[in-house]
Amino acid sequence: MELEYSIEGGDFSKAGLASSEVKKILKQVNIKPEIIKRIAVAMYEAEVNVVAHAYQGKMLVNIDPSKVYIRFEDEGPGIENIDQAMQEGFSTASEAVRQMGFGAGMGLPNMKKNVDEFFVGSVVGKGTTVELTTYIK
C-alpha cells in the first residue's frame, strides 16, 4: 500500500494531520498497537520538522507485509551539520516556535529511538530527506 501526503511549511495549524491519518490506516491494517505507538512518535516529529524548518514537503508511506517505510522529502534550508542536529537539545527553532513548546531539540533523537532504521540526508539550500523504517514481521 502506498500513500502520499503534502505538508505545508510554517502552517502549525495543520501539523500532525498527516500523521493522524497514517496512524488510522496502520490500525486498520492491524499492525500491533505497540508498534503503531512508536511509529506515531517518529512520524509526528518528522512531520513537525517539515512544518517548523522547511518550506514544503511530502510524506510517502509504503506498507508491505514485512515493514512500514515512511519517507519525508522537503524543500527547505537543509541541515548543515547532521551530527550536531542529532544531539538532544540542539535546535535552531525560532523564539515563537519555542513558545509553543516546539523546538526542544528532541525530534530527531525521538525518531531514531522509535524506529528500526533511521536515515537523514540533507543538501544545504535544497532540502532534507528523512527515512523511517519499522519491521512488523
Write out the residues near ligand ADP by the rule CB under 6 A: 45, 49-50, 52-54, 74, 76-79, 85, 90-93, 102-108, 128
16 binds another protein (CB under 8 A): yes
Contact by Cβ (8 Å): 52, 128:
no
Residue selected from 57, 76, 78, 107 as contacting Mg ion according to rule CB under 5 A: 107
String marking each residue 98-127 x if it binds another protein according to CB under 8 A? --xxx-xxxx--x--x--------------
86 binds another protein (CB under 8 A): no
Give me the residues paired with residue 49 across strands: none
> Which residues have CB under 8 Å from 4's CB, separation 6+?
58, 59, 60, 61
Contact by Cβ (8 Å): 102, 52:
yes
27 binds another protein (CB under 8 A): no
Distance CA 54, CA 126 (A): 10
Nearer residue to another protein within complex by CB, 40 or 60 = 40
Contact by Cβ (8 Å): 77, 128:
no
Point out which residues bind another protein (CB under 8 A): 12-13, 15-17, 19-20, 23, 37, 40-41, 44-45, 48, 100-102, 104-107, 110, 113
